[in-house]
């Protein structure tokens, strides 16, 4: 797709009706975060085609532009997309330094609503960290070259004079890489209070119940404590909707009654295609894909006349090979061998050959195990690699002592 200029995008969006170029619409969404003219044209476009939630989504940043019903529909839409991240800012395509519009700010964690003056420093720190990582990755080639030179010289039976310098440099750089990686891992980041959305949804249930229910339904997918499901069940019972109570509570053992499950089954069977009632059950109740018989789901299936599914089977990794970290750990024998060559009186040729032999031997074992665990097509390639590694192991051992 050829990119359009802002004027072309605005002209395309101003076309009447719903037949606007979908590529232009999608490109406008990507540009709206940095181009106010495109954002306003996108908001006007959605207003013309009578999609108030989307009109509010793109136009709420302009003071006084969004109409009350557009703001109301936007809030309902945002509540239905709630997750553990900064979903409000992300949905509105706002920069990190832009405060959230007041009309929707209460849907986001206070820690994420207003970016502090230090937000730019955080961004600079992120960029600096990325640059430092790239530089460190480039410098990390030095240890590889240095250790490789020591091993190659050792295979030739020579203990190079600059070996100690190379090995020490390699050790220092690898140590810095490890320390930097640990700092990047444990560096605190601006996060979301995992309990905020639950509390906010509970508050909305008393003031804006439609938004509260929408937020709770969205949280079902990201809530590990089933708090959202319990709240939805309680709300359905207060409103006298037994089928709705069973819809959200059937995945929790003992939470729903037989009458509620029966009412839910009647709703599922009332569709145009009763044969797909089980699919509707999985989708409507958001049953965990890795536990299709969670809680009382099978009790609902029995009312539908559907057999419980077979228990999930643990499948092998899709690549069918050994894990990369084990292959990399096997390479540690090479820098260890380089250190022994530099600081011991052992024969360089023997040490270098045995270091390579150990790595090749470990790879032989890893690929052979992977070939046994992953039958059929991947086994041929894995076993071939294991055989090649075994041959390399034998050749390295013979070279060490001949």
Judge contact between 334 and 151, C-beta under 8 A: yes
CA distance 292 to 267: 20
- What digits encode the pLDDT tens for the residues 52-61? 999 999 999 9
| Long-range pairs of 178-183 with CB within 8 A, sequence gap ≥ 24 | 180/132, 180/133, 180/136
Q: Which of 102-106, 108-112, 260-264, 305-309 has the lowest mean pLDDT?
A: 108-112
* Residues above pLDDT 90, as percent of the chain: 14
- What digits encode the pLDDT tens for the residues 206-257? 889 999 898 888 888 776 678 889 999 999 999 999 999 999 999 999 999 9
DSSP string, 96-123: TTSPPPHHHHTTS-HHHHS--TTHHHHH
Average pLDDT over residues 110-132: 47
Which single residue is written with the structure tokens 């070939």?
371
At residue 322, the pLDDT reads 59
CA distance 163 to 149: 8
At residue 127, the pLDDT reads 44
- What digits encode the pLDDT tens for the residues 326-371? 777 777 787 787 778 777 777 788 888 888 888 888 888 888 887 7
At residue 187, the pLDDT reads 45
Q: Is the pLDDT of residue 292 over 60?
A: yes
CA distance 340 to 343: 5
* Structure-token pair, residue 367: 């690929």
Q: Which of 99-103, 162-166, 290-294 has the lowest mean pLDDT?
A: 162-166
Residues, the chain, total? 402
Q: What is the mean pLDDT of the chain?
A: 76
* 36 — pLDDT class (breaks 50, 70, 90): confident
pTM of the entire predicted model: 0.56
At residue 340, the pLDDT reads 80
* 188 — pLDDT class (breaks 50, 70, 90): very low
Which single residue is written with the structure tokens 């891992």?
185
At residue 142, the pLDDT reads 60
Which helix (H) or strand (E) segment is 265 a member of?
helix 258-269
Q: Which residue has the higher pLDDT, 188 or 286?
A: 286
């Amino acid at each position: 797709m050829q990119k359009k200029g802002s004027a072309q995008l605005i002209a395309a969006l101003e076309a009447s009706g719903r037949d606007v170029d979908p590529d232009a619409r999608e490109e406008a969404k990507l540009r709206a975060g940095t181009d106010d003219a495109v954002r306003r044209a996108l908001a006007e476009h959605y207003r013309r085609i009578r999609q108030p939630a989307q009109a509010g989504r793109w136009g709420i940043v302009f003071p006084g532009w969004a109409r009350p019903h557009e703001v109301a529909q936007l809030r309902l839409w945002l509540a239905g997309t709630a997750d553990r991240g900064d979903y409000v800012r992300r949905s509105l395509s706002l920069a990190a330094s832009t405060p959230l519009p007041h009309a929707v700010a209460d849907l986001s964690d206070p820690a994420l609503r207003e970016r502090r003056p230090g937000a730019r420093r955080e961004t600079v720190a992120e960029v600096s960290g990325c640059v430092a990582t790239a530089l460190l990755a480039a410098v990390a080639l030095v240890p590889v070259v240095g250790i490789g030179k020591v091993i190659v010289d050792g295979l030739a039976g020579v203990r190079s004079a600059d070996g100690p310098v190379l090995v020490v440099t390699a050790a220092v750089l690898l140590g810095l890489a490890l320390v930097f990686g640990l700092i990047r891992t444990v560096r605190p980041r601006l996060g979301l209070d995992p309990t905020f959305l639950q509390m906010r949804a509970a508050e909305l249930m008393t003031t804006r119940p439609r938004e509260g229910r929408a937020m709770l339904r969205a949280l079902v997918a990201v809530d590990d404590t089933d708090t959202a499901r319990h709240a939805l069940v309680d709300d359905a019972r207060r409103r006298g909707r037994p089928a709705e109570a069973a819809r959200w509570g059937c995945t929790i053992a003992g939470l729903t009654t037989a009458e509620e499950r029966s009412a839910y089954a009647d709703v599922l069977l009332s569709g145009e295609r009763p044969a797909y009632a089980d699919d509707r059950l999985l989708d409507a109740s958001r049953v965990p894909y890795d536990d299709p018989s969670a809680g009382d789901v099978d009790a609902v299936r029995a009312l539908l006349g559907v057999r419980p599914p077979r228990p999930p089977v643990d499948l092998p990794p899709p690549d069918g090979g050994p894990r990369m970290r084990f292959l990399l750990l096997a390479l540690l024998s090479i820098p260890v061998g380089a250190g022994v060559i530099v600081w011991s009186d052992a024969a360089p040729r023997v040490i270098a050959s045995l270091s390579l032999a150990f790595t090749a031997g470990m790879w032989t074992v890893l690929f052979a195990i992977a070939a046994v665990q992953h039958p059929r097509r991947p086994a041929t390639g894995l076993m071939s690699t294991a055989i090649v590694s075994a041959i390399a192991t034998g050749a390295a051992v013979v070279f060490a002592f001949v």
